[in-house]
Amino acid sequence: MEPHGRGGRAFAGHGWRDRHAARRHGAGHRGGRERPPLRRRGGGDRAGPLRRLGERLLHRQPAYLLFDSRIEQRFAPPLYPPIRAGSVAALARQLDLDPATLEETVRTFNAAIRPGATPLDSRTVGLAPDKSRLAQPLATPPFGAIPMRPGITSTNQGVRVDRRTRILTTAGVPLPGLYAAGVVMAPNILGRGYLAGGAMTIGAVFGRIAGREAAAHALA
Ligand SMILES: Cc1cc2nc3c(=O)[nH]c(=O)nc-3n(C[C@H](O)[C@H](O)[C@H](O)COP(=O)(O)OP(=O)(O)OC[C@H]3O[C@@H](n4cnc5c(N)ncnc54)[C@H](O)[C@@H]3O)c2cc1C
């Protein structure tokens, strides 16, 4: 599940680090302002950088979500405890990263932060890519890391259904006795992009409708 913290995104202030300890992307890209639309209907692939990052992570290297103890207090406890250390260099050694590079990456990230009126408005300037919100310094030990792996939440492709969740042919005709619920029909609701929590909601809501319709069909 997506980690959410009290009153907002859980991982405020973090940045991904790749195996070479360099920052690759900030928090908030998923559902945040800096997230590009994944794919436009009838249009081209707009997810180039994100997709390339995913491919690299999938095939070659893990990424690490980094935070300090102050940030960690703001998010709900994760299912698996993070890797923790008393300093950035010690954390790097635990992650099998180059300590000097990770220290430099964290230093650069911290120096690039421009605080806003609220933590939500804090951003970085001069990084590539910059973090557009929730930029918090990693400064208060112990420091923590969570290994990250890419996952597919949905493909934005699926079958067409009507209000009763009956699967429709390309001609718009319901196929008798065939119903769909969940991600396989989610594009009927979401259209494009992704709404956090929406996938489970769609599964629950339309699963109930599909179950009721299938039962009625069987009993008819
Ligand atoms: C890392 C991750 C985080 C996510 N976080 C969130 C979140 O925070 N909020 C949210 O709303 N959604 C989230 N999602 C998405 C959400 O988990 C899915 O959209 C949801 O589980 C889809 O439910 P589903 O029943 O449609 O499909 P699935 O859960 O994929 O169920 C399909 C089932 O069909 C079975 N199956 C497949 N083929 C066959 C076959 N031929 N015969 C029999 N059985 C078959 C599969 O084994 C599976 O059990 C997340 C997904 C991922 C991967």
Domains and CATH numbers, the chain: 4-148 (3.90.700.10), 166-219 (no CATH)
Any atom of ligand 1 within 6 Å of the Cβ of 177: no
d(CA 154, ligand 1 centre) in Å? 8
- Distance, first Cα to last Cα, the chain: 39
What is the tens place of the pLDDT at every residue in 36-63? Answer: 333 334 444 545 666 666 666 666 667 8
Any atom of ligand 1 within 6 Å of the Cβ of 108: no
Mean pLDDT, the chain, integer? 80
Overall size of the chain counted in residues = 220
pLDDT for residue 40: 38
Any atom of ligand 1 within 6 Å of the Cβ of 142: no
pTM of the model: 0.58
**Which of the listed ranges 144-158, 163-177, 189-203 does the model predict with the highest average pLDDT?**
163-177
Q: What is the C-alpha to C-alpha distance for residues 188 and 209, in angstroms, rounded to an integer?
A: 15
Any atom of ligand 1 within 6 Å of the Cβ of 203: yes
Residue type, 34: E
d(CA 31, ligand 1 centre) in Å? 19
Between 8-22, 102-116, 206-220, the lowest mean confidence (pLDDT) is in 8-22
150: closest CA among 40, 18, 39?
Answer: 18
Any atom of ligand 1 within 6 Å of the Cβ of 45: no
What is the tens place of the pLDDT at every residue in 151-165? Answer: 777 777 899 999 999
